[in-house]
Amino acid sequence: MQELSRHNQNIRRKILVVDDELVNRRLLGFILGRDYDVIYAENGIEALDLIRNNERTLSLIMLDLLMPEMNGYELLEIIRNDANLKRIPVIVLTSEKSAEVKSLQLGAADFIPKPYDMPEVILARVQRLIELAEDNIIIHETETDDLTELYSKVFFFQYVKRHDRYYPDEQMDAVVLNVNRFHLINELYGRDTGDLVLRTLADCIRGLISDTNGLACRCESDSFYVYKPHSEDYDHIIKTFTDKLIEAIGFTNISIRCGIYSGVDISMNVEERFDTALVACSNLRGTYTSSFAYYDTDLHEKELFSERLVTEMDEALSQKQFKVFYQPKFDIRGDKPVLTSAEALIRWFHPELGMVSPGAFIPLFESNGLIQKLDQYVWKEAAVQIKAWKDKFGLVIPVSVNVSRVDICYPQLSEMLLDIVHSNGLEPNDYLLEITESAYTDNSSQIIDTVNKLRDLGFKVEMDDFGCGYSSLNMLAALPIDALKLDMRFIRNICENEKDRRMVKLMLDIAEFLGVPVIAEGVESKEQLDLLKQMKCDIIQGYYFSKPVAPDEFEKFIVDKKNSL
Ligand code: C2E
Ligand code: CA
Ligand code: CA
């Protein structure tokens, strides 16, 4: 590539004058000689020789059209088709007006009529053309990446925007391509191989977008962005690219991953469109074979929703957007069901989103540890509530709270619970703890220690969601628990499904063997209730009796119980 600094006036540019007539050559030499180094040729063949020898330093060619041996048109054609030469601008010299169009079509940059009666005009045109050509080189250098000759990211984004202005109705895909473990290729096989991989992939991409309105750039190291008309054949595209890479470098453990945001929303800004494709691509991290993934709007919205819940939790707690609801549990062993206790279940009344169900935020907060804060809030609220009812009705309605597996790792768990209970004037056995069965199977020795400690302090522990974990009979026999809560899914079809019924029977037998009562959760109908009663289930919780309700509403169950005493 030509070495230059932008329009450096100290460098004398070199100009080639090609004309078969000596007088014309002399005249141009005279006009240009003061500012430029001028070299001369008498015909096309001689000229081509000089051009090739001065390829890197030649700034301009001034070309007569009618010459012996090889005329100007032929030479223009050769220059235009030569990748190295076509950057050199050519000014055509002729007296024929009709030649103008043809020479411009052949790639001439400008046209100077003979005779040369206005030297200042000639000098000005020459200077302008050289500057233009040099600017073009600078632009090309900054807008493309040296290694792959694809656009650089900044220019790529500009061209995408321009594309949208010209073709607002064309359906486009934003695509991100990465080489899997590219740094390892560099480390194991050397930088040259790494470069070859990138150039090969760039060639594949160029082939993919040629003949379309597609655009591409190398974004950074091994990451490529492609903006192309919508298509459905990414499976085939990725396979072809991989085959070409394998062929180029000669080993097979190379693969690419590709994230596609298909049919982009043109109102979204360009950077965001590619961020979106990146989201799809990052889901493929860790894959060892070539693969692609489409951006999934639903998934992304879910992620954004989760993100929002996480950032807003603290504020929501301080603004009391979280409310504890209570669902009654009824003892059905006697003639009439009797209220025995309640389960505290959290509700989030969000000022904009409305009621957010625990299913949306509990697993999320469990995964990032926020659940501890929330649970402690519920534990305190529940204790305050038990005390308030005790004072109001003279009855203790034990309340069970959920203890998630994250809480169990908290070293001061039992001290904290004891403090909550005592500071509300209650005893530990007024308070029930629900721990899901799967927590036991995750980390059995720690949880058994913790549960033993809690029970020694007087707390009652219920095993929640029983039947869904993988407790062995061995482990169950050794487990310190006070009740089993059957998982809802066995109850749902208990009347219709013989297998579920037998499962419940089995779990009831296990409970009998362990000597603990059984709570059936999710009981919605009279039929389910009757069946469970017949099967000797002890306690029922479910919509049949009541949904989880606010404390005020719950009081009617306490009043009923009081009246029947
Ligand atoms: P879980 O502990 O198994 O709670 C029982 C769930 O079943 C509750 O859902 C309850 O509303 C629902 N349910 C009760 N009876 C019926 C019924 O007859 N039919 C149906 N279809 N559903 C019934 P909820 O309140 O949406 O809570 C879902 C889960 O969220 C809970 O499952 C629990 O794992 C968790 N959770 C709720 N509150 C808390 C909390 O304060 N702390 C923690 N760690 N987890 C909580
Ligand atoms: Ca529960
Ligand atoms: Ca449960």
User: What is the number of the ligand closest to the CA of 548?
Assistant: 1
Q: What's the pLDDT score for residue 5? A: 42
C-alpha–C-alpha distance, residues 204 and 245, integer Å: 9
Query: How far is it, in rounded angstroms, from Cα 432 to Cα 327?
Result: 14
Q: Which of 48-52, 163-167, 328-332 has the lowest mean pLDDT?
A: 163-167
* Residue among 483, 474, 436, 475 at smallest CA distance from 455: 483
Tell me the C-alpha distance between 422 and 403, whole Å. 18
In the prediction, which pLDDT does 7 show? 56
pLDDT digits (tens, 9 = 90+) for 194-206: 999 999 999 999 9
How far does Cα 514 stand from its chain's mean position? Answer: 49
Q: Which CATH class is domain 153-295?
A: alpha beta
The arithmetic mean of pLDDT across residues 445-466, rounded, is 92
The pLDDT, as a whole number, for residue 373 is 95
Quickly list DSSP for 407-444: HHT-TTHHHHHHHHHHHTT--GGGEEEEEEHHHHHHSH
d(C-alpha 472, C-alpha 506), whole Å: 13
Number of helices (H), then strands (E), in the chain? 22, 19
Closest CA to 219 of 184, 258, 178, 254: 178
C-alpha–C-alpha distance, residues 330 and 564, integer Å: 14
Residue 439 C-alpha to ligand 3 middle, in angstroms? 13
pLDDT tens for residues 381-407? Answer: 999 999 999 999 999 999 999 999 899
Backbone angles phi, psi at 256, to 5 degrees: -125, 160
What is residue 472's predicted lDDT score, i.e. its pLDDT?
A: 75
286 C-alpha vs ligand 3 centroid, how far in Å? 35
**Residue minimizing CA distance to atom 27 of ligand 1:** 358
* Residue 550, C-beta contacts closer than 8 angstroms, at least 6 positions apart: 323, 325, 326
CA of 345 to the centre of ligand 1 (A): 6
328 Cα distance to chain centroid: 43
* Contact criterion met (CB below 8 Å) for 175 and 226: yes
Please indicate whether residue 552 or residue 298 has the higher confidence score (pLDDT): 552
| Preceding amide of 115 cis, omega within 30 | yes
CB atoms within 10 A of CB 559: 12
Q: What is the pLDDT of residue 298?
A: 79
- Segment 356-361 mean pLDDT: 93
Q: Across the strands, what pairs with 15?
A: 38, 60
Minimal CA–CA distance to 289: which of 250, 235, 220?
A: 235
Answer whether 52's CB lies under 8 Å from 82's CB: no
How far, in Å, CA of 521 to CA of 464, rounded?
9
How far from 302 is each of 210, 369, 474, 475, CA to CA, in Å? Answer: 37, 19, 41, 38
Mean pLDDT of the chain: 91
Q: How far is the CA of 317 from the centre of ligand 1 (A)?
A: 19
Q: What is the pTM (predicted TM-score) of this model? A: 0.64
Ligand 1 lined by 15 (C-beta under 6 Å): no
Please identify every residue whose CB atom is under 5 Å from ligand 2, which is an ion. 402, 434, 464
pLDDT attached to residue 105: 84
Confidence of residue 2 (pLDDT cuts 50, 70, 90): very low
289-330 pLDDT, tens digit per residue, is 889 999 987 777 888 899 999 999 999 999 999 999 999 999
CATH 3.20.20.450 residue ranges for the chain: 305-564
How many alpha carbons fall within 13 Å on the CB side of residue 447?
25
What are the φ/ψ torsions at residue 221 (nearest 5 degrees)? Answer: 20, -100
- Which amino acid, 384? V
Nearest to 198 by CA among 252, 248, 259, 148: 148
Q: What does residue 224 show for φ and ψ, rounded to 5 degrees?
A: -120, 140
Give the separation between CA 87 and CA 134, rounded to whole angstroms. 9
CA 12, distance to chain mean position in Å, is 54
User: Which CATH code for domain 305-564?
Assistant: 3.20.20.450
In a 3-state reduction of DSSP, which class is residue 330? strand
Give me the percent of the chain exceeding a pLDDT of 70: 98
Q: Are 401 and 378 in contact (CB under 8 A)?
A: yes
Q: Of 16-30, 98-112, 119-133, 144-158, where does mean pLDDT reach its minimum?
A: 98-112
Residue 427 to residue 400: CA distance in whole angstroms: 13
Over residues 203-249, the pLDDT tens digits come to 999 999 987 889 999 998 899 999 999 999 999 999 999 999 999 98
What is the location of CATH 3.40.50.2300 in the chain?
2-143
- Ligand 1: residue of 341, 345, 462 to mutate (most ligand atoms within 8 A of CB) is 345
CA distance 393 to 511: 33
The reply to whether ligand 1 has any atom less than 6 angstroms from the CB of 404 is: yes
| CA 541–ligand 1 middle distance (angstroms) | 11
CB distance 439 to ligand 1 below 6 Å:
no
Residue 289 has a pLDDT of 87
Residue 34 has pLDDT above 50, yes or no: yes
Q: Homologous superfamily of 2-143 in CATH?
A: Response regulator (3.40.50.2300)
Task: Give the three-state DSSP class for 329.
Answer: strand
